[in-house]
DNA sequence: ACCTGAACACCGTTCAAGT
DNA sequence: ACCTGAACACCGTTCAAGT
């Protein structure tokens, strides 16, 4: 009698889960530059205004999307009670770093609004639990955990920065871009830039992820030293 | 005979220096949210399109503005040849950190496009020169300097993030906001969040700048250890 | 309760026209 | 060579109207 089912498709039926998942999918496929409410609504088969029923603005949606994605990081760091707390802390840090490299848009929203981000809090606590095992004072423990978090997010954010215009346009490759930068360093006056010349070859052959690990190890060594472990 | 001088004021006379200086002034006064080409042109008494004669887009202007501001940091770290290289490296790091805290918009553009940012390169080299004195291998030296830079920028960027909506609107103070966050942590299940409860009092009384220095010291301690100095 | 989409108040950027 | 400002192609967000 009624043809409601046939027409039901005309009106989108959304949910917070659908909105956030689709937001993540759009961010992953197109990057944050192309992440607009119009593009998102179109993917959802909905009107532009619909999304505002679930979130009050774009920032809140990005907060939720970034927290949603942290579930993977939490799952990958579930079982960590190895003999060495520092090793376990390193595992959490590296997993988080890799997640941000894969999703550059994460860096800017991680732990930005903790009320909307329970997973960020869980991850922070998980890292903290490892450092707690070092028997530092609460203050030292808090500072160490904050330092690790800051280093991971900061370094990842730096690396996941939008590449220069020329690379984005596909005019030159990323490798070519590094070569150009090396050539630019080499052309500088060695007396004015002794350090740059000193590390020129290292710069030319460096890998971002490896360099991140090296830096993380320095920080963890400092923490271990403080703990006297 | 000619009234050209009297009418000359009608047409703006710009320069790269004027454009970049005014951009910095606008950023300092109004923040990056309010930094638009229309606002900038208005301050310059010029048309909207004029700025495009000097820079090819907004990103390039921000790159130049951030580098312009680094002159202050360079001036403040001019004479550094103390007995302890680590102490000198710390001085550079702290000065850069403070500069970013004062100008939150700096973090996102520091060393983003090195071709347009000679001062960033100079500062990076200055920090590197201190670490060179530790007689590490070139690779270790490069990694250590990159780690320090990443930590400073990352931590500063994190802290200089836009405060939550409620604080921005002036509905609640920053201190009140911290109290709220503390209350939120306290309400969490202690079995699920043991670390957060462990450091609750530290969180409540923490100061961002002090915490940054504590983290920096941990990293520098790791570097010193590696250098065997 | 939830969804629609036109409308509003902005943006960055371009470019033909001016001086 | 340098500056103008209307015009273009977008945005996020609102809200009266619908279901």
Percent over 70 (pLDDT), chain B: 91
Same domain, A156 and A210: yes
Positions on chain C within 7 A of a protein C-beta? 2-7, 10-16, 19
The model's pTM is 0.93
In total, how many domains does chain A have? 3
Same domain, A223 and A143: yes
> Is residue A141 predicted with pLDDT exceeding 50?
yes
Strand C proximal to B36 Cβ, under 7 A: yes
Same domain, A110 and A203: yes
Same domain, B105 and B39: no
Q: Provide the CA A18 to C1' C6 distance, Å, integer.
A: 25
B139-147: average pLDDT: 98
Confidence of residue B169 (pLDDT cuts 50, 70, 90): low
Tell me whether residue A60 is in a domain: no
- From B126's Cα to the closest Cα of chain A, the distance in A is 8
Region of poorest pLDDT, from A165-179, A206-220, B74-88: A165-179
> Is residue A64 predicted with pLDDT exceeding 70?
yes
Q: Residue ranges of the alpha helices (H) in B77-207? A: 85-102, 118-132, 138-159, 165-168, 174-187, 194-198, 200-204
Considering only CA atoms, give the Rg of chain B.
22
Domain housing B19 = 11-55
Region of poorest pLDDT, from A86-90, A172-176, B154-158, B186-190: A172-176
- Return the residue of A nearest to B130 by Cα: A195
Confidence of residue A3 (pLDDT cuts 50, 70, 90): very low
> Is residue A170 predicted with pLDDT exceeding 80?
no
Query: Of all protein residues, which has its CA closest to the C1' atom of C14?
Result: B49
Confidence of residue A61 (pLDDT cuts 50, 70, 90): very high
Same domain, A89 and A49: no
Q: What is the mean pLDDT of chain A?
A: 91
Q: Provide the CA B49 to C1' D3 distance, Å, integer.
A: 8
Same domain, A135 and A26: no
Same domain, A21 and A84: no
Region of poorest pLDDT, from A14-23, A84-93, B33-42, B103-112: B103-112
Tell me whether residue A6 is in a domain: no
A35-42 CB contacts, 8 Å cutoff, 24+ apart = A35/A105
Tell me whether residue B211 is in a domain: yes
Same domain, A188 and A92: no
Looking at residue A75, which CATH number applies to its domain? Answer: 1.10.357.10
Same domain, B50 and B157: no
Tell me whether residue A27 is in a domain: yes
Contact between residue A105 and residue A58 where contact means Cβ atoms under 8 Å apart: no
Strand D proximal to A39 Cβ, under 7 A: yes
Residue from B222, B223, B227, B228 to probe the interface with A (highest A Cβ count within 10 Å): B222
Strand D proximal to A48 Cβ, under 7 A: yes
Strand D proximal to A5 Cβ, under 7 A: no
Considering only residues 171-190 of chain A, list those whose CB is below 7 Å from strand D: none
Residue A199 φ then ψ, to 5°: -110, 15
Same domain, A21 and A88: no
d(Cα B102, Cα B123) in Å, to the nearest integer?
A: 18
User: Helix (H, G, I), strand (E, B), or coil: what is residue A130?
Assistant: helix
Same domain, B24 and B79: no
């Amino acid at each position: 009698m009624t043809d409601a089912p046939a027409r039901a498709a005309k009106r989108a039926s959304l949910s917070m889960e659908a909105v956030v998942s689709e937001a993540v999918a759009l961010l992953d496929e197109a990057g944050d530059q192309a992440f607009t409410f119009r593009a998102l609504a179109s993917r959802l088969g909905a009107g532009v205004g619909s999304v505002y029923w679930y979130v009050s603005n774009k920032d809140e949606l990005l907060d939720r999307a970034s927290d949603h994605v942290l579930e993977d990081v939490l799952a990958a760091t579930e079982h960590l009670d190895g003999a060495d707390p520092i090793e376990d802390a390193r595992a959490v840090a590296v997993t988080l770093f890799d997640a941000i490299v894969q999703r550059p848009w994460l860096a800017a929203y991680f732990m930005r609004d903790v009320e909307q981000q329970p997973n960020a809090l869980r991850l922070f606590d998980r890292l903290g639990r490892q450092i707690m095992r070092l028997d530092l004072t609460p203050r030292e423990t808090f500072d160490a955990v904050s330092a690790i978090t800051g280093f991971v997010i900061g370094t990842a954010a730096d690396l996941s920065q939008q590449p220069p215009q020329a690379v984005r346009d596909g005019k030159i490759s990323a490798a070519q871009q590094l070569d150009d930068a090396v050539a630019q360093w080499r052309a500088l006056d060695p007396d004015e830039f002794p350090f740059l010349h000193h590390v020129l070859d290292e710069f030319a052959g460096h890998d971002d992820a490896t360099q991140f690990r090296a830096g993380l190890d320095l920080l963890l060594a400092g923490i271990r030293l403080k703990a006297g472990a």
